[in-house]
């Protein structure tokens, strides 16, 4: 008599196991399947195309009714198993059927997680798991209303795309900062978000759901930050958990899932567990490849192959949304002994990242072009030694499969009609012809004659390789100093391209300019943050993690890790009230040192980081704000007492200094900016060694600039003479704005002036009044977003994480 095999669950994994079993050992078992869903086995992976309307249910059925008949399988549709009797070796279904087994397979799959927020049980709140969910969504989509999808992972995005295709207005809420963060690195996550948004789907990241609104049915979603989103449909796609309750009730060992050994047996040797409900090697699995592996093992074991065991292998993810190509596999975290190869092709929207570990491929993330993903996944799974093809690996099998090619040989091998510069349509033949014909020696000459790489600049590397191949040793490409090791572009190129390509975030910039690292370095990130801030005032969101610590916490770090605090004293003027407040703060917080600075203000040194907000709160109360003594921005405007008190004073130097400081404070600049106003040529405020200085004279104001009194000592240059205070302020603001737009990060005004030429600057500021006015207007506009006291913002709770320890175990442990 044949043995009885009972299968609980009729998903893809048991379906595959039975297929394999019927192939290798036909007729060994009498098979009975209990399916809680009232239908045959279908391809759950294809639910998304079903939702979007690209497929019908018939097209995604794996085993039609005929398959069950052919293999003599008894299928109980819509029967949920309620109990397993391991002693009597029977199972009992919700439909009242009791079946005896010799071998049992539990394949109950998983259940979607529902976040227990208020309103989560309202009508119109769905999960995304089976055909019933899809049918309910399709029905809801008929209203063409608004839908909110909670969860920006694989399933959530597929649901969002499907609902959007069905005509709904869809918003995706995602708790983490980037989409699909478990499968993608942040760069690919940002690209994905842009592609999703381009389809008309709104994405809110860092979104924490507070409640689902509605009386009897869904009316909207409210977030923890108070944002309200109207919606007639809410889909929760935040994750799954193994459906192991039945096994637990039967007394089998259950942790997160039903624990199985490598042969897929549970703690009862006659019972197998398989699929998403099973836990092997301490892990539960949700992707189809390992689940099919499990199925093969169960089939082999049932057919009598005792040696068959399950070993989890690397898994790969592909997003099934038409028009978005995305692939990730393996482990793409950074780490020791790990190297990355990044390829970015901005014009084609491609990002590829390979992570190498000891000459093998450990992980891969592709966005935009996934054509070669199978080849890479195969390299990864088999642990192939890629040392031989490393140089060209990222270009894929058509390139890397052959013997190692150096990039120069690759360029040399290009046909003459190969397009090098896409922007200007310049082919290789034309560039080589121009180099030899016109005896061109530099990149600028090639740009001037052929226009190749003269627009977006992303083909610069190729053009340089061509020049090298054509000129040999006669070409020396190192003319432009790259910003850092993350790019071959110089500061000026980056600034030009930020505007030309309208790059508005650091991830966009790194993609658009083909950065060689995935998240930059400590050199380029602060520079990029400044360039974006200066270029897109009011639009760019400052990235505090790309700022040096002093600008991140608005105080100056000292050698022992404490901070110094310098409040602004406008024009160097102070009062009894301010001094009293400073004295009180020094006492209250036991600040060890107080010093008068060279910029005419008071420095409190040795403040503990966690005390900073409280120190600032007290200073704020006395009317004092941050002095930006830490900033690449306006520091001080030093003054003398001028006509108020001095018998030689020619103008109100103190008043003008205060006006300049109140007008210009808070502006970010490439490097620090120090100013001074002297009331007469005796120059008591030492204005002639400042970045910008004003010397008052009887007839008005001499404006000086480009002085230095630090690493270099340099007297100022005269910019020009103006007659009135408003003119002086306009000239100074225009000068600083020009510097803000042209200066390289960390380049002081005197170095910038030397580089671009004093006369060039004088012409633009003093002679071209229209241009000066435009610069001034741009400065005024950017100040609208800059003049907010960073101290009071933090007193009111901003960046609170900066000023508190994550945890404190020092007291508890000390007591032991």
Residues that bind another protein (CB under 8 A): 175-177, 181, 185-186, 332-336, 338, 517-522, 525-526, 544-550, 553, 557, 559-561, 801, 805-810, 813-814
Min CB(362)–another protein separation in Å: 13
Closer of 340 and 644 to another protein (Cβ)? 340
Cα-Cα-Cα-Cα torsion 515, 520, 525, 528, nearest 10 degrees, comes to 10
254: three-class secondary structure by DSSP: strand
Q: How far is the CB of 799 from another protein (least distance, A)?
A: 9
Distances (CA, A) of 25 to 6, 67, 273, 300, 302: 16, 16, 20, 9, 9
CB of 205 to another protein, least distance (A): 11
CA distances from 342 to 185, 332, 654 (A): 12, 12, 55
> Residue 539 Cβ, how far from another protein at the closest point, in Å?
21
Name which of 91 and 527 has its Cβ closer to another protein. Answer: 527
Cα gap 764→750, rounded to integer Å:
16
- Yes or no: say if 722 and 735 are a contact pair by the CB < 8 Å rule: no
Q: Which two tokens stand for residue 605?
A: 């040194």
- The label of the residue with tokens 């022992």 reads 560
- Decide whether 175 or 786 has the Cβ nearer to another protein: 175
- Nearest distance, CB of residue 282 and another protein, angstroms: 12
Report, in Å, the least distance between residue 529 CB and another protein: 10
Shortest distance in whole angstroms from residue 458 CB to another protein: 23
Helix (H, G, I), strand (E, B) or coil at 111: strand
| 759 vs 808, beta carbon nearer another protein | 808
Least distance to another protein from the beta carbon of 214, Å?
28
In the complex with another protein, which residue's Cβ is closer, 281 or 645? 281
Q: Nearest distance from residue 666's CB to another protein, in Å?
A: 23
Comparing CB distances to another protein, the nearer of 473 and 809 is 809
Write down the least CB distance from residue 803 to another protein, Å: 10
Task: Using the minimum distance from each CB to another protein, give the nearer residue, 69 or 333.
Answer: 333
Give per-residue burial for 595-612: e unless 16+ CB within 10 Å, then b.
eebebbbbbbbbbebebb
Q: Which residues contact 324 (CB under 8 A, 6 or more apart)?
A: 161, 192, 195, 196
Distance of CA 482 to the CA centre of its chain: 24
* Sheet bearing 3-8, strands edge to edge: 74-77, 29-35, 3-8, 103-106, 271-273
Which candidate, 513, 492, 548, places its Cα nearest to that of 668?
548
Minimum distance between the CB of residue 634 and another protein, rounded to whole angstroms? 22
Nearer to another protein, 26 or 177 (CB): 177
Name which of 332 and 376 has its Cβ closer to another protein. Answer: 332
Per DSSP, the three-state class of 320 is coil
| Comparison of 468 and 608: residue with beta carbon closer to another protein | 608
- The string of DSSP codes covering 599-617 is TSSEEEEEE-GGGHHHHHH
CB of 489 to another protein, least distance (A): 18
DSSP reduced 3-state for 782? helix
Instruction: Compare residues 555 and 738 and give the one whose CB is closer to another protein.
Output: 555
Q: 332 or 779: whose CB is closer to another protein?
A: 332
Q: Which is nearer to another protein, 334 or 723 (CB)?
A: 334
CB of 177 to another protein, least distance (A): 6
Reduced to 3 states (helix: H, G, I; strand: E, B; else coil), residue 141 is helix
DSSP characters over 556-582: EE-TTS-EEE-B--GGG---HHHHHHH
Q: What letter does residue 675 receive in the DSSP assignment?
A: E
Q: How many CA atoms lie within 13 A of 712 on its CB side?
A: 13
Residue 517 or residue 787: which is nearer to another protein going by CB?
A: 517
Q: Which of 166, 546 has the CB closer to another protein?
A: 546
Smallest gap from Cβ 223 to another protein, in A, equals 15
Can you tell me whether residue 406 is helix, strand or coil? coil
Both tokens of residue 629? 């003594």
Name the minimum Å distance from CB 640 to another protein: 36
- Of 417 and 808, the one with the shorter C-beta distance to another protein is 808
Tokens read off for 516: 């060689």
* CB nearer to another protein: pick between 14 and 242: 242
Which residue number, 177 or 407, has a Cβ lying nearer to another protein? 177
- Give the nearest distance from C-beta 335 to another protein in angstroms: 5
Closest CA to 327 of 184, 189, 127: 184
Residue 782 C-beta: closest distance to another protein, Å: 24
Nearest approach, Cβ of 519 to another protein (angstroms)? Answer: 4
- Find all residues with CB under 8 Å of 677, minimum gap 6, and list them: 571, 637, 638, 639, 640, 642, 653, 654, 656, 657, 660, 685, 687, 693, 694, 696
N-to-C CA span, the chain:
68
User: Under 8 Å CB-to-CB from 777, ≥6 apart: which residues?
Assistant: none
Is residue 627 exposed (0-12), middle (13-18) or buried (19+ Cβ within 10 Å)?
A: buried
The interaxial angle of helices 769-786 and 725-742, nearest 10 deg, is: 80
Report the distance separating Cα 747 and Cα 756, nearest Å.
12
Show Cβ contacts of residue 51 under 8 Å, excluding neighbours closer than 6 positions. Answer: 134, 137, 138, 158, 159, 162, 163, 165, 166
Helix (H) or strand (E) holding 812: helix 810-814
- CA 29, distance to chain mean position in Å, is 53
């Amino acid at each position: 008599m044949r043995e009885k095999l009972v299968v609980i669950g009729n998903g893809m994994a048991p379906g595959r196991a039975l297929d394999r079993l019927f192939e290798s050992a036909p007729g060994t078992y009498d098979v009975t399947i209990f399916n809680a869903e009232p239908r045959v086995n279908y391809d759950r992976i294809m639910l998304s195309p079903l939702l979007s309307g690209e497929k019908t249910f018939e097209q995604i059925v794996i085993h039609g009714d005929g398959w069950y008949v052919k293999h003599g399988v008894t299928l109980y549709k819509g029967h949920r198993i309620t109990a397993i009797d391991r002693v009597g070796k029977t199972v009992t279904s919700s439909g009242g059927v009791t079946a005896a087994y010799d071998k049992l397979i539990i394949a109950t799959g998983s259940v979607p997680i529902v976040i227990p927020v208020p309103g989560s049980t309202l009508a119109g709140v769905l999960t995304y798991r089976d055909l019933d969910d899809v049918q309910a969504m399709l029905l809801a989509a008929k209203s063409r209303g608004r839908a909110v999808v909670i969860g920006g992972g694989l399933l959530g995005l597929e649901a969002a795309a499907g609902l959007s295709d069905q005509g709904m207005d869809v918003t995706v809420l995602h708790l983490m900062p980037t989409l699909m963060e478990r499968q993608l690195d942040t760069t690919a996550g940002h690209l994905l978000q842009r592609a999703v948004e381009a389809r008309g789907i709104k994405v809110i990241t860092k979104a924490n759901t507070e409640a689902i609104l509605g009386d009897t049915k869904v009316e909207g979603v409210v977030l923890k930050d108070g944002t309200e989103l109207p919606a007639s449909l809410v889909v929760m796609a935040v994750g799954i958990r193994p459906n192991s309750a039945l096994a637990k009730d039967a007394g089998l060992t259950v942790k997160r899932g039903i624990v199985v050994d490598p042969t897929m047996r549970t703690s009862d040797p006659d019972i197998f567990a398989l699929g998403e409900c099973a836990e092997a090697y301490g892990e539960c699995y949700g992707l189809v490849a390992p689940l099919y592996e499990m199925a093969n093992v169960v089939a082999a074991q049932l057919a009598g192959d005792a040696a068959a065991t399950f070993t989890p292998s690397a898994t790969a993810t592909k997003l099934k949304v038409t028009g978005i190509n995305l692939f990730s596999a393996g482990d793409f975290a950074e780490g020791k002994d790990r190297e990355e190869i990044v390829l970015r092709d901005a014009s084609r929207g491609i990002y590829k990242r390979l992570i190498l570990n000891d000459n093998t491929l450990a992980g891969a993330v592709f966005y935009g072009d996934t054509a070669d993903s199978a080849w890479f996944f195969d390299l990864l799974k088999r642990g192939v030694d890629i040392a031989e093809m490393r140089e060209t690996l990222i270009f894929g099998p058509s390139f890397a499969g052959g013997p190692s090619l150096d990039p120069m040989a690759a360029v040399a091998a290009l046909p003459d009609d190969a397009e090098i510069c896409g922007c200007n349509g310049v082919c290789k033949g034309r560039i080589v012809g121009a180099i030899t014909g016109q005896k061109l020696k530099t990149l600028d000459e090639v740009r001037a004659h052929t226009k190749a790489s003269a627009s977006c600049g992303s083909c610069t590397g190729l053009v340089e390789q061509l020049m090298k191949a054509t000129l040999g040793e006669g070409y020396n490409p190192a003319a432009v100093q790259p910003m850092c090791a993350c790019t071959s572009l110089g500061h000026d190129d980056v600034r030009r391209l930020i505007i030309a390509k309208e790059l508005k975030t650091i991830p966009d910039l790194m993609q658009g300019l083909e950065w060689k690292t995935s998240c930059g370095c400590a050199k380029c990130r602060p520079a990029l943050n400044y360039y974006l801030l200066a270029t897109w005032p009011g639009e760019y969101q400052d990235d505090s993690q790309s700022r040096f610590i002093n600008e991140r916490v608005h105080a100056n770090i000292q050698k022992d890790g404490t901070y110094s605090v310098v409040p602004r004293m406008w024009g160097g003027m102070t009062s009894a009230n301010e001094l009293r407040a400073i004295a009180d703060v020094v006492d209250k917080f036991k600040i060890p040192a107080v010093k008068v600075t060279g910029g005419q203000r008071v420095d409190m040194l040795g403040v503990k980081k966690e005390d900073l907000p409280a120190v600032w709160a007290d200073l704020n109360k006395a009317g004092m704000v941050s002095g930006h003594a830490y900033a690449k921005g306006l520091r001080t405007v030093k003054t003398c007492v001028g006509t108020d008190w001095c018998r030689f004073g020619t103008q109100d130097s103190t008043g003008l200094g205060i006006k300049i400081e109140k007008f210009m404070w808070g502006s970010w600049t490439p490097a620090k900016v120090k100013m001074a106003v002297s009331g007469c040529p005796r120059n008591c405020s030492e204005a002639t060694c400042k970045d910008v200085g004003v010397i008052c004279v009887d007839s008005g104001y001499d404006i000086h600039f480009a002085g230095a009194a630090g690493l270099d000592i340099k007297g100022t240059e005269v910019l020009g003479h103006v007659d009135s205070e408003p003119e002086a302020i306009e000239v100074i603001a225009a000068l600083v704005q020009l510097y803000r737009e042209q200066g390289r990060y960390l380049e002081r005004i005197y170095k910038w002036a030397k580089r671009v030429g004093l006369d060039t600057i004088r012409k633009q500021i003093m002679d071209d009044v229209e241009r000066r006015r435009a610069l001034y207007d741009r400065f005024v506009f950017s100040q609208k977003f800059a003049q907010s006291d960073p101290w009071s913002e933090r007193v009111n709770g901003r960046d609170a994480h900066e000023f508190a320890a994550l945890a404190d175990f020092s007291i508890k442990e000390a007591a032991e």
